[in-house]
Structure 1
Amino acid sequence: MATQDAPWADLPFHLIPTPGRGEAVNNLPVPVWIAREMTCAHNGILRGLNSIYQQSIHVAKPEDIKDLLKYTEFWCGWIREHHDAEEEFYFPEVERLTGVKGLMETNVAQHHAFMPGLEAFSKFATETKVEEYDALKLRAIVDSFGETLTKHLTDEIETLLELKAYDGAVMKKVYEEFDLKLRAGDKSVLFPMVLGTCDAGYEGGCLWPGLPGPVMSLVHYWFERKYSGVWRFSPCSTWGEKRPLTFMAKTE
């Protein structure tokens, strides 16, 4: 377990409070359930970014730098796929079901606001040569968009919580379809990234993304093998256990 005073992946970009925390998931109104699910995903994104930021100044060996850059590349791909699926499927469906054109317009505009920084971060990850790695440059890029991204991820949850007036069953069905689209990526990348950024004990516990135990074992013992060095940068274990950041631990 990570100690309380050790730097971890909950900073510098603050995590989002969990909607309906303390309540049984089955008892939550659908909009709260949807917002809770999305919060878990968004907090995973933030933990991944924080993990990169915190550990970036502590890597020195070529193989460690290479793996950090690959982890960064995978993180950028994850958030890009997440927001593409929102813009191309989920947001249009929400507007269609509510009949409120432009309901998600602010959220889409926020995507565009942080996209230049995200693209610069992705370019850094894919084009930087190991021998030219500069942790301060990495941090400067993250600083250029991190707060804007955090605000967007937080604001979107409030938008979802405001959907209480609409048909819950239909809204839940659309969200589940959206979630299935998100799970269609490369399982050797997507599943280790998502599970490795999920703190199952956060704010009393959150059983997310709800994979059966055998599937989680498959991820750990099979899907993680292809990029095993990369997942050293994950802030959590496959089973959602908060763990010390690998490279911070070596310097404490």
Structure 2
Amino acid sequence: MAPSRTESVSVSGSSGCLSPKTPSSLSSRSQSSIARGPWADEPWPLFETPGRTHSAGHPAIHIANEAAHTYNAMFRGINSIFLQAPFVTAAEDVSDLLFLAHCLGCWIARHHNTLYSRVYPKYEAVFGRPGALTGPSPSQSEEDMSFISVLETLINYAAETQAQPQRYDPTVLLGILEDLAPGLHAHAFAQIIKSIGMVSLCGEPGSPAAEARAVALLNAWRALDAEAAAAADRPLVLPMLVRLRDTTFEGGNDWPRLPVLAVHVVADRLSPAHAGSWRFLPCTIWGKPQELPFLAPQGKEPKGKGKEVAWVSSLASTTHSSSQSLVSPTPVSI
């Protein structure tokens, strides 16, 4: 059975409202590549890349595309763990799943910290507007960062329980992810909108000042991208990241543009140490969607301790109904 939904969240239009999309390319991809569902594009929906609805030639839109791809990778990881957690029972499998949850949580936390401590200040320096990205917008008194404490809970729970897998209770992990994902999803959407808004922060389109800022913005992004690559925990982040990218998304993409030789290095040298954890991820080493291995066999009830987990398959509809009501500031107000 194909995945039950292949929608993405659109960031098109001036209002920044969330709206489900069902591109034909996504439907054909899921139906042809995944034998049974659900898959990692649910229950929390993925983000449409802004370049599909905005002029892709501006560096700010390139940066926004990168942000969308990065957050989509994060949510493929969250969705994959969420969908499989109720059906993992053996101690070795539990340990592997929790190691993945810990790595994913640490990666998300590091990304967020770097964004606010290094990336946004660099961009603000280009615009000569301190606080333009790190401070609240005129329509928002304070950005909701409540997901950070839940992220810390995930990291701590995964580390502590991995050491004692017999204590694993899937309903606890599911509950943490349920608390984390909606806030992180709204936050991710806001960051994509901020990136789109950097087009207007560059200045009057076509003016020499705006062109100069756009060039400076691109140079800043390149330097920050190289800095992040050098600082990454490669033995853990790269084997995870390559399997969280979907090179068939939106009809095909090459994010994050890894040379073939680099993929072979990740596969042959970096992946074996924690191969048990990477098997929970939704894509092959080449970024091709594959079945999630720990879904419920026919007729088998998920493991749970005193709590029903039937809501796992139905959460998508409630997530969509709430996410569609989110409205982010228009780019010009950022």
Q: Same fold (TM over 0.5)?
A: yes
What is the Cα deviation at residue 110 of structure 1? Answer: 4.3
Give the structure 2 partner of residue 160 of structure 1.
195
Matched, 1:143 2:178: yes
Q: 2:60 aligns with which of 15, 24, 31?
A: 31
CA distance in 2, matches of 1:176, 1:197: 22
What is the Cα deviation at residue 13 of structure 1? Answer: 1.1
What is the Cα deviation at residue 99 of structure 1? Answer: 1.9
Asked whether the equivalents of residues 72 and 125 of structure 1 are also in contact (C-alpha less than 8 Å), the reply is yes
The 3 A distance-change label for structure 1 pair 230 and 55 is same
Letter in 1 for 2:145: H
Q: 1:197 aligns with which of 244, 266, 284?
A: 244
The 3 A distance-change label for structure 1 pair 110 and 73 is farther
Structure 1 SS opposite 2:80: helix
Structure 2 SS opposite 1:51: helix
Matched, 1:55 2:84: yes
Give the structure 2 partner of residue 134 of structure 1.
169
What is the Cα deviation at residue 177 of structure 1? Answer: 2.1
Asked whether the equivalents of residues 85 and 178 of structure 1 are also in contact (C-alpha less than 8 Å), the reply is no
What is the Cα deviation at residue 106 of structure 1? Answer: 4.0
CA distance in 2, matches of 1:47, 1:121: 16
TM-score (norm 2): 0.70
Q: 1:216 aligns with which of 253, 260, 263?
A: 263
The 3 A distance-change label for structure 1 pair 65 and 112 is same
What is the Cα deviation at residue 182 of structure 1? Answer: 2.5
The 3 A distance-change label for structure 1 pair 156 and 138 is same
CA distance in 1, matches of 2:146, 2:225: 24
Q: How does 1:230-241 map to 2 (within 5 A)?
A: 230-241=277-288
Deviations 1:124-157 (A, max 9, x none): 1001120010101111111112101001111111
Structure 1 window deviating more from structure 2 (29-38 vs 66-75): it is: 29-38
Asked whether the equivalents of residues 192 and 224 of structure 1 are also in contact (C-alpha less than 8 Å), the reply is yes
Deviations 1:69-122 (A, max 9, x none): 000010011111111111111011111111222212249x64732111001111
Give the structure 1 partner of residue 220 of structure 2.
174
The 3 A distance-change label for structure 1 pair 110 and 53 is farther
- State how many pairs are aligned: 247
Q: How does 1:66-81 map to 2 (within 5 A)?
A: 66-81=95-110
Letter in 2 for 1:83: H
The 3 A distance-change label for structure 1 pair 161 and 50 is same
Give the structure 1 partner of residue 207 of structure 2.
none
What is the Cα deviation at residue 57 of structure 1? Answer: 0.5
Matched, 1:46 2:46: no
Higher share in helix: 1
TM-score (norm 1): 0.92
CA distance in 2, matches of 1:19, 1:49: 22
CA distance in 1, matches of 2:167, 2:272: 27
CA distance in 1, matches of 2:76, 2:283: 9
Structure 2 SS opposite 1:93: helix
Higher-Rg member (1/2): 2
Letter in 2 for 1:140: G
Give the structure 1 partner of residue 154 of structure 2.
121
Counting aligned pairs with the same residue, the percent is 29
What is the Cα deviation at residue 186 of structure 1? Answer: 2.1
5+ unaligned residues in a row in structure 1: which ranges? Answer: none
The 3 A distance-change label for structure 1 pair 106 and 145 is farther
Structure 2 SS opposite 1:179: helix
CA distance in 2, matches of 1:111, 1:88: 17
